[in-house]
Amino acid sequence: MEPHENLPRCGNRNLAFGPAQMLGSETAVEHPSMHWHRLLRFRGDYRNCPLAEDEPCAKLGLGHHVLREARRVFSGTCRPMADSTDSLKLDDYLARLLAALDSGVEGGNSHAPTVDLSARQGLPSQGGPQAEAAIPVSHEGSLSEVIPGPGNAGVPLRVAPGSPLRIGRFELRRQLGKGGCGIVFLAFDPKLQREVALKIPRPEMLLSADARKRLIREAQAAAEFDHPNLVPVYETGEFGPLCYIATAFCPGQTLGQWLEKQAFPVPVRQAARLVAIVAEAVQHAHDRGVLHRDLKPNNIILQPVREDPLAEEPPVGSCQLRGEYFIPRVVDFGLAKLMERGEPSDTRTWQILGTPKYMAPEQALAKHRDLGPAADVYALGAILYELLTGCAPYDGATDVEVLRQVIDGQLNPPRQIRPDIPRDLEAICLKAMEKNPGRRYRTAIDLADDLRRFLDGKPTIARPLNWLGRVARWARRNDQLVALIIVSAIAVVMIGVGTWYMGETRRLKNDQERARSDQELRARLERQRDYAQYIYATFLSLRSGNRDEAKDYLEAARMIATYLNEPLDFPYRHLSRLVQLPRQDIPTFANRVTALAVSADLRYLCWAYPDGTLTLWDIAQSRPVQTWKHTTQEMQNAGKTSLHLAFVGPQSKTLLVCNETAEAPHLSVWTLHSEGTMAPLANLPAVFQSPWLRCATSPDGRFSCVEHRDGTVLLWDWFEQKVAAQTRWPQSVKEMHVRTLPSGCEVAFATRDGTVGLWDGRSPPRMLPPLDNSSRITSLAFTAEGKIALGSNTGLWILEKGKQWKQQGNSPVRWVFSSPHGLLTYVKPGRFSLQQEARFWEWPVVEHGEITTAALDANGRLLCTAGEDGFVRLWRIPGDPHELGVLQVPLIQGVFVSEESPQGVLLDAQKRFFPLADSQNAPLPSPSLPILDAFLTQDGSLRVFLADGSTIRDEQWTGPKRRLVRQWRLPPAAQVRWAKFSRPAGHLLAADHLGRLYLWNTADVPSAAPSIIETSSGKVVAEAVLARDASLLAARWDRSAISIWSVAENSWKLTLSIPDATDFCFVENSGFLATAGERGAIRLWSLESGREAATFLGHIGAATCLALSPDQRTLISGGANGEVIFWDLRAQREVFRQRRHDGPVRHIRFANRGRWLITATSDQVALWQTSE
């Protein structure tokens, strides 16, 4: 037996025991490495060596064979090598080198002579000037780099400063570990330019022939391996007295190190999968005739798997442990046994090799001839036992005691330690650890296959019993418990029969009370459904233009709310405000309207149909006056016409109808009599006697500019019934616009080639600067300041100072109207825009389709539109655009409101705040730090939350003044990703980049620590919502699921699998979570069962955001098409919808105690108000 094998090592190191240790001898001796240092201290001088004397072997603790081996080495009888520098003579230089590499490692001798490694580490020497002399390196890759030549025998061994420490050609980096037979270093191979794991014998093992053979055998055993879970061998060889193995370097910790860090046992399925992978690798070694004989957690390296975003599956041979993927690799075949090769065994009789805790009983009895694959199967079962239970199968104060338990002890079943282990997996573990090798799995692959069956939910070989057999066996084993259960069941039945009659009367009484309560609840729910139905009917009546019917439905809904003693909700109060607006929606029965005219006194409205039918409408009385036709069949067949209507004359009771056709334009004048009928005027004005081409009338009905076929242009004054002016155009015109001035009139015209001119009636027409050739003019108008505005296919153009055209937009403009409140333009289909100072208002004027024609009154306060939806609508300017439209604000990033007062601000992409109620749209000061959240206080000041690294700053802005209110700090390593402040709950919620959530109660002292919520996936939280009472928190990492956190229980309550969720919010009074989906569905999820409780369908396209009214009765959802839908949660139905935006709705906020609703897209914001 080798001298270094006399004592067991602590921990999981390899052990070698002789007969004395098997008998329990515990004689204390010195560490074996100290004897080798004592031997090597004599530098090969045999005469001075204490071994030359007859010193008893027991005094040194050495065996006789060791003494003989040492004498042979020190007497110089070993055969030298050809290279004089690589001598087999083991002098003190080699001893110092190996002792230096071994120092500082568990089991090493720190008092032995060692090499000063300060030169490698760049530290100053402690040996003085003489010690600073470095031995020059003469042969790269030879032993002379670490062992000086004969001429330098008296010089202390030093490594040149800055040069690497080498063994052969390998440059040593650091020590990776140490076993019972060798030391493993991380080394660099300069020849192949790669890092390797270099294994060399321990210093005290250099004189052991068995140790050298063991190292060579390990290389031979591993050289034939080709498996992803085994470490490949690059090279093996000898270098003077040193033999080495160079293998692939596998970074990572051992399974034993990983287990020491775990606070709880490994999940059973992960443990089974890991052992199955290792068993397949062991079978690969068995197939090549190699037994490991020392399988244990410290000989399994867990190599981390690098994340590859392109990889669809983890690498082959990898497994998951605690959410991380590793590739387990079996290492250290130092005790391997080569089977079926005809080689004599090198194991001495009664010598035990391996780790006691993982030895098979036959291995602990040193029956080396009986060792086979079953020994490694036992070790795999022991590893599985430790993974499942968190402790080794056998443990004791000494290794001898552990060996006794392995041989004679009784194994404690894993389920007694950890009851949640499945019985099938326990049976697999116990079968693999049977003391009789014949009752274990025959091969390691059989163990792996049985583990795979367990993982797949199939019956296992280790436990083939059916359920009847398991029940019978349990009953026989617990006969007293079975008898007790039977007696208890009989007693329960008797007691139940005895109490049934007593409870029956009580049940009947309760049923009566419950029936009465259910009846009242059903009646209340029915009233609530009626209320929602009346609100929806109000909305339909408004959309159809029947305001009187809408008022009746609102009154019916109000009476139901009074009966139920409930306050009126937001949809009722908003529809009530819309009903009170002075608007008229006149149905035209789906007929297309081609022309509109409104009188200057806002009394009458007239429109025309394509068949020549005219309708006169009394605006004041909201009723039709007369409908008649003004054209003949010949005129209808004349081809494409352009109809022009205008009220003319001082009393606006004369209607001018101009039918502009390319071949024969026709004109008629109709006068409204006192009895309310329209009659044609027999004598037309002289200006219309000769053939004409085009006519335009001023909005006040005083002047008409008529272009004749001969190029003459006449200006007719309807008030004085005469020609006011006459001129000639340079060429035929396409568009004309006339406006009345205090001193006359002014006409703007555009020719067919794009030239724009101006005629004041007193001087010849004046041509204006031309537009670019790509612009096609569609309409003309005069602004309130007297500037000319024109619409074209390239946008809206304004003539500044009569010299230069300035473009106001690049979208095609069909119509331009001038109002004292700004320019009205028709740019987008079905939507008009109002440019009011620096703000742009836009509102929909048709339910669907496009606008066919429009007209503006003389004062610019009433806009009349006709659309493809079959309605003529009257819009008050600017009230209706503000009330029913949206405000254009580019790049809206956030909407922040005050819950107590009618205030709100917008945040754009440049981190600027814009007051929502400020007509000048002046931005507030911009912060230098990222904005996390904000809200308005009741006094009008702005509270802003800013991100400053790992700190959240709460600042109060009052005008230009800023004041720091409070700071919340995250751990130094964390960075704030986002934060939300919940005013109803008084809590601040934040997330960092490490996947953690932080919850502060703002009512606590400033120094109070937050509640830290660890996410189960470790991913960064994308979005989270806090309940109003701060009892629940909903968070999601991606769009696949939403998890619910219970603040009171401090744990994740449940996870909802919602693959298409775009937004979510709590419905707290009913215990639901509302979600919006990409397919347009709104769903309610029960927070108790986690199941879907209701589904609302109504959006065309995706539903993009959600919000709940403060009274928890109305759910508002925004869609990708800009439509906003109001849902009654009690009736679970839609009650109102309106499409005010033309893009996806991103923000929905309630303000002013629920009286305001603000919705916003990326460039539009709408204010929904209610009646007081």
Triad 481, 487, 492: Cα angle to 5°: 120
681 and 670 Cβ atoms separated by less than 8 Å: yes
Rounded-to-integer distance, Cα 929 and Cα 947, Å: 6
Q: Is residue 588 part of a domain?
A: no
Which H or E run includes 258?
Answer: helix 255-260
Tokens 């009580």 found at: 506
Which H or E run includes 678?
Answer: strand 678-680
pLDDT score of 940? 82
At residue 1115, φ and ψ (nearest 5 deg) are -105, 125
CA distances from 1166 to 179, 317, 627, 823, 1149 (A): 74, 58, 39, 20, 11
Q: How confident is the model at residue 945 (pLDDT cuts 50, 70, 90)?
A: very high
Rounded-to-integer distance, Cα 46 and Cα 213, Å: 27
129-133, 146-150, 834-838, 1043-1047 — which is least confidently predicted? 129-133
Chain center to CA of 1149: 23
Those residues whose C-beta lies under 8 Å from the C-beta of residue 963, and which sit 6 or more positions away, are 955, 956
| Residue 1082 DSSP one-character state | E
Q: Which of 439, 464, 489 is the last residue of a domain?
A: 464
Q: How confident is the model at residue 636 (pLDDT cuts 50, 70, 90)?
A: low
Question: Virtual CA dihedral for 369, 371, 373, 378, nearest 10 degrees?
Answer: 170
Q: How confident is the model at residue 1102 (pLDDT cuts 50, 70, 90)?
A: very high
Confidence check: pLDDT of 1119 > 90: yes
Chain center to CA of 160: 54
- Residues 419, 496: one domain? no
Domain with 931 in it: what CATH number? 2.130.10.10
Across 1092-1117, average pLDDT:
93
Those residues whose C-beta lies under 8 Å from the C-beta of residue 36, and which sit 6 or more positions away, are 95, 203, 204, 206, 207
The tokens for 383 are: 């590893």
Domain with 237 in it: what CATH number? 3.30.200.20
Across 1044-1049, average pLDDT:
90
What is the arrangement of strands in the sheet containing 666-672, beginning at the earlier edge strand? Answer: 641-648, 654-661, 666-672, 678-680
Please state the domain count of the chain: 4
Confidence check: pLDDT of 24 > 80: no
Rounded-to-integer distance, Cα 167 and Cα 196, Å: 13
Per-residue pLDDT tens for 641-673? 678 899 999 888 899 998 877 667 788 899 988
What single letter denotes the amino acid at residue 655? L
Domain that holds residue 524: 481-566
- Residues 408, 533: one domain? no
pLDDT score of 108? 41
Q: How confident is the model at residue 177 (pLDDT cuts 50, 70, 90)?
A: confident
Per-residue pLDDT tens for 1022-1037? 899 999 888 999 999 8
pLDDT score of 165? 79
pLDDT score of 376? 93
Q: Is residue 224 part of a domain?
A: yes
pLDDT score of 65? 43
Confidence check: pLDDT of 15 > 60: no
pLDDT score of 121? 39
Confidence check: pLDDT of 53 > 70: no
The tokens for 801 are: 């100072």
pTM confidence score: 0.57
Q: Is residue 492 part of a domain?
A: yes
The DSSP code sequence of 493-562 is: HHHHHHHHHHHHHHHHHHHHHHHHHHHHHHHHHHHHHHHHHHHHHHHHHHHTT-HHHHHHHHHHHHHHHH
- Residues 242, 294: one domain? no
Per-residue pLDDT tens for 478-536? 888 889 999 999 999 999 998 998 888 889 999 999 999 999 999 999 999 999 999 99
pLDDT score of 133? 35
Those residues whose C-beta lies under 8 Å from the C-beta of residue 215, and which sit 6 or more positions away, are 181, 182, 199, 201, 243, 244, 245, 334
| Residue 139 DSSP one-character state | S
Rounded-to-integer distance, Cα 227 and Cα 945, Å: 56
875: buried, middle or exposed (CB in 10 Å: 19+, 13-18, 0-12)? Answer: buried
141-155, 575-589, 596-610, 770-784 — which is least confidently predicted? 141-155
- Residues 416, 545: one domain? no
Residues in the chain, how many?
Answer: 1172
Across 771-799, average pLDDT:
87
- Residues 260, 241: one domain? no
Q: How confident is the model at residue 17 (pLDDT cuts 50, 70, 90)?
A: very low
The tokens for 1089 are: 């069962």
- Residues 456, 486: one domain? no
Across 960-970, average pLDDT:
88
pLDDT score of 905? 86
CA distances from 729 to 695, 767, 769, 790, 910 (A): 14, 10, 16, 19, 50
Q: How confident is the model at residue 884 (pLDDT cuts 50, 70, 90)?
A: confident
Rounded-to-integer distance, Cα 1002 and Cα 982, Å: 10
883 and 899 Cβ atoms separated by less than 8 Å: no
Average pLDDT of every residue of the chain: 80
- Residues 443, 547: one domain? no
pLDDT score of 125? 37
Rounded-to-integer distance, Cα 616 and Cα 846, Å: 21
Helix (H, G, I), strand (E, B) or coil at 980: strand
Q: Is residue 819 part of a domain?
A: no
Closest of 715, 621, 697 to residue 652, by C-alpha? 697
Rounded-to-integer distance, Cα 49 and Cα 39, Å: 7
Which H or E run includes 1094?
Answer: strand 1092-1097
Chain center to CA of 93: 61
pLDDT score of 74? 38
| Residue 925 DSSP one-character state | P
Q: Is residue 476 part of a domain?
A: no
- Residues 541, 412: one domain? no
968 and 1010 Cβ atoms separated by less than 8 Å: yes
13 and 181 Cβ atoms separated by less than 8 Å: no
Closest of 956, 996, 966 to residue 978, by C-alpha? 996
Q: Is residue 338 part of a domain?
A: yes
pLDDT score of 89? 39
CA distances from 725 to 701, 710, 713, 722 (A): 16, 16, 8, 9
Those residues whose C-beta lies under 8 Å from the C-beta of residue 528, and which sit 6 or more positions away, are 564, 1128, 1130, 1131
Helix (H, G, I), strand (E, B) or coil at 108: coil
Per-residue pLDDT tens for 441-459? 999 999 999 999 888 878 8
Confidence check: pLDDT of 106 > 80: no
Sign of CA dihedral 717, 723, 729, 734: positive
In the chain, the percentage of residues whose pLDDT exceeds 70 is 80
Domain with 408 in it: what CATH number? 1.10.510.10
Q: How confident is the model at residue 1133 (pLDDT cuts 50, 70, 90)?
A: very high
pLDDT score of 1096? 94
Q: Is residue 163 part of a domain?
A: yes
Per-residue pLDDT tens for 692-750? 888 999 999 999 999 888 888 999 999 999 999 999 887 888 889 999 998 889 999 99
**Number of other residues whose CB lies within 10 A of the CB of residue 367:** 13
At residue 379, φ and ψ (nearest 5 deg) are -60, -40
- Residues 230, 98: one domain? yes
- Highest averaged pLDDT of the listed ranges 69-83, 293-307, 576-590: 293-307
Strand partners, 1148: 1159
Closest of 877, 774, 773, 786 to residue 825, by C-alpha? 877
- Residues 234, 329: one domain? no
Closest of 583, 584, 587, 580 to residue 551, by C-alpha? 580
Q: Is residue 1081 part of a domain?
A: yes
**Number of other residues whose CB lies within 10 A of the CB of residue 418:** 16
Rounded-to-integer distance, Cα 202 and Cα 273, Å: 35
Chain center to CA of 895: 22
Q: Which of 248, 281, 306 is the last residue of a domain?
A: 248
Confidence check: pLDDT of 85 > 70: no
Across 1026-1049, average pLDDT:
89
pLDDT score of 617? 92
| Residue 80 DSSP one-character state | P
Q: Which of 431, 464, 497 is the last residue of a domain?
A: 464
- Residues 916, 1063: one domain? yes
pLDDT score of 168? 79
104-118, 204-218, 224-238, 950-964 — which is least confidently predicted? 104-118
- Residues 235, 266: one domain? no
